[in-house]
Structure 1
Amino acid sequence: MEKLLNLSNHNLSDLQKEELKSLGFEVVELQEEDKKMWSQLTPFNYKAICDDILTKYEVKGYHVAGFPPVVNYFCSRTDKTCYYAYSERKTIETKDETGKMVKTSIFNHKGFFEYF
């Protein structure tokens, strides 16, 4: 089984891990310090962080999520397969006990798709 690095601020669900397993991948998470840096990407630091991650992990693919400049930069710097997770979002609006409107988003994973 090949390794796929999860480059996102969220852990993948069991359903997502099973789908990646069916594609021949075992999910690897970022090390704690890298996960912290990935969660604090800015227009000023993302290139250095992406370049560091590209040299640090021995994997065959990536799940890449983040703001578009990060995704574009990261995917353009590797010849390995990069995936995005597509989810259908359903938003439910309810009122709380004070009458304030509360929105809850429910994400339904629909599949992994290759960038490019």
Structure 2
Amino acid sequence: MKILNLSNHTLTLEQINELDQQGYNEVVELDQEDKKAWGQLVPDTYKEVCDNILAKYKADAIHLAGFPPATVYVALKSTVPCLYAYSERNCVETPMPDGSIDKRYIFKHLGFYRY
């Protein structure tokens, strides 16, 4: 089965493996134009962008993340299951020699869940 990656993120190998175990053995990525549009959604145009993407890409499910109104719109309008990736976020703070703090977030994928 196919899953559309409707997000601004590249799926990790761990995520791809989990999707494969769930039967989604093909990840469909947005083309460059649609990826740019998805990454720049605004209140006045997000519905049009979402409608265009839903009409253009055919998949058995959607990995959905991004601009909150758009994700709600797609999840409610879609006729296929929509999944979100849940991650644990751990912050690591490292004091630097100049007194500043280097702050990094480490994300650990914990699973896909249905909207």
Shorter-chain-normalised TM-score: which range?
Answer: over 0.9
Match of residue 63 from structure 2: 63
- Deviations along 1:83-110, one digit per CA (max 9) or x if unpaired, are 0000000001112232111210000000
Q: How many angstroms does 1:112 deviate by?
A: 0.2
TM-score (structure 2 length as normaliser): 0.95
Q: How many angstroms does 1:27 deviate by?
A: 1.1
The answer to whether structure 1 residue 9 and structure 2 residue 8 are counterparts is yes
Q: Structure 2, unaligned stretches of length 5 or more?
A: none
1:34-113 residue pairs with structure 2 within 5 A? 34-113=34-113
Q: How many angstroms does 1:67 deviate by?
A: 2.6
Paired positions, count = 114
- 2: CA distance, partners of 1:87 / 1:106: 9
Q: Structure 1, unaligned stretches of length 5 or more?
A: none
Q: Show structure 1 runs of 4+ deviating over 3 A.
A: none
- 2: CA distance, partners of 1:96 / 1:44: 43
Q: Aligned to 2:72, what secondary structure does the other structure show?
A: helix
Q: Which moved more, 1:82-91 or 1:94-103?
A: 94-103
Taking only aligned residues, the RMSD between alpha carbons, in angstroms, comes to: 0.9
- 2: CA distance, partners of 1:107 / 1:75: 24
- 2: CA distance, partners of 1:69 / 1:86: 19
Q: Name the % identity.
A: 50
